[in-house]
Amino acid sequence: MVGNRKIFRNIWLVLVIISFSVTFLMGAFLVTNYQNVTKMLQVATIIKMQYLEDVPLKQMLGGAVRGMVESLHDPYSVYMDQKEYQEFTQHIEGSIGGIGVSVGVKESKFVVFSVIQETPAARAGLQKGDVIYKVNEKLTSDMDIDETVNQMRGEPGTQVQVSVLREGAIKEFTIIRDVINVPTVESEVLDDHIGYLQLNLFASNSDEALASHLQKLLQKNIKGLVLDLRDNPGGDLASAVNMAKYFLPEGPVVYIVDKNGQTETMKNMVSEKIAIPLVVLINGGSASASEVLAGAIKDLQVGILVGEKSFGKALVQVLVPMPGGDAIKLTTAKYLTPNKVDIQAEGIHPDIEVILTAEDKEDTQLKKAIEVLQEQMKKP
């Protein structure tokens, strides 16, 4: 009995210490930010007392919280409410409802990176390189990238109005939403026993899908492999690191560096590296996790990169779940390649540059990749 009282006393002491610490920290915050906190309360009071319509306090607080994240002026840091968070999770898991485009940030504009074939966007005529100008008559300049994408998502069968800038002119599209099942990995065997592996998105299950496709290709006795990362906007970083074991030796895949200079090394612990020549295709739509994988392959010289300079997004976001089902997607670090190269805004330059234009009647980048592989396969 005495022992139990001692345990309870210790627990109570810990709780008191925690409570005191939290109270102290909150007190310090209020003291150092007294004027700003007072201003926020004054604005809330004025709105509550004088605004024409009745505004729920929850709505005002939600706006204040969202505004804190927006004040960072970082297009990749976003506060998501419960609905937005659920839709974002569906996107990462590889099954989304919407129109079938991948959108990224380029020079502060929201640009279509790729259009998935056989989707509403493709049928309507949206093209890679289109700048999203308005969605449902709302200017994208008044939204962050996640809000813009969420505006295009919705229930299958419903309409969305999308305005884009293309070659200096505004084009209007009315698109009927549908369920979009993103094929994260696709593969086939080309001539001369060359395997072709296209990775469209780093979803949470893409590493398993890639392993399955790669095994099937190897069973067909391929002698070389093209890994196509073009127009892949990235996604789940852990998935990219897991895939690295099929292409890299054991060792660092990527370094994650935070605001304090602390470095985390994400390693390939067990290598299952394929013993055939490898060519990787990249372009301006290859971003984030795509650049992690392509950058590691280039640094460690285990494959040849063909195509165009990649996008240059070397920022790491984490998802922080919040009470009530909301979440914050926050930039917390940047990544460096195995040679500790910072590619943020710089991108990765291919070993062999091949510019693909709309006028090209064939895929000149893939053609060059096959030529490089054929030369590699001749070597003993």
Catalytic site residue from 288, 290, 310, 365: 288
Distance of CA 13 to the CA centre of its chain: 44
How far apart CA 199 and CA 209 sit, in angstroms, is: 10
230-253 burial, b at 16+ Cβ within 10 Å, e below that, comes to: bbbbbbbbebbbbbbbbbbeeebb
Nearest to 247 by CA among 197, 189, 205: 197
Q: Residue 207: enclosing H or E segment and its boundaries?
A: helix 206-219
Q: Which of 134, 245, 298, 313 is catalytic?
A: 313
Catalytic residue among 317, 329, 365, 368: 317
> How far apart, in whole angstroms, are the C-alpha atoms of residue 202 and residue 11?
44
CB atoms within 10 A of CB 63: 14
The phi and psi torsions of 213 (rounded to 5 degrees) equal: -65, -40
Are 234 and 290 in contact by the 8 Å Cβ rule? The answer is yes
How far, in Å, are 11, 17, 19, 24, 309 from residue 14 at the CA level?
A: 5, 5, 9, 15, 55
Among residues 220, 227, 255, 231, the alpha carbon closest in space to that of 243 is found at 227
Its sign, for the CA torsion 311, 371, 240, 205, is positive
313 carries an active-site annotation: yes
Q: Are strands 278-282 and 224-228 parallel, antiparallel or unpaired?
A: parallel
Active site residue 114: no
Q: Where in the sequence numbering do the catalytic residues fall?
A: 288, 313, 317
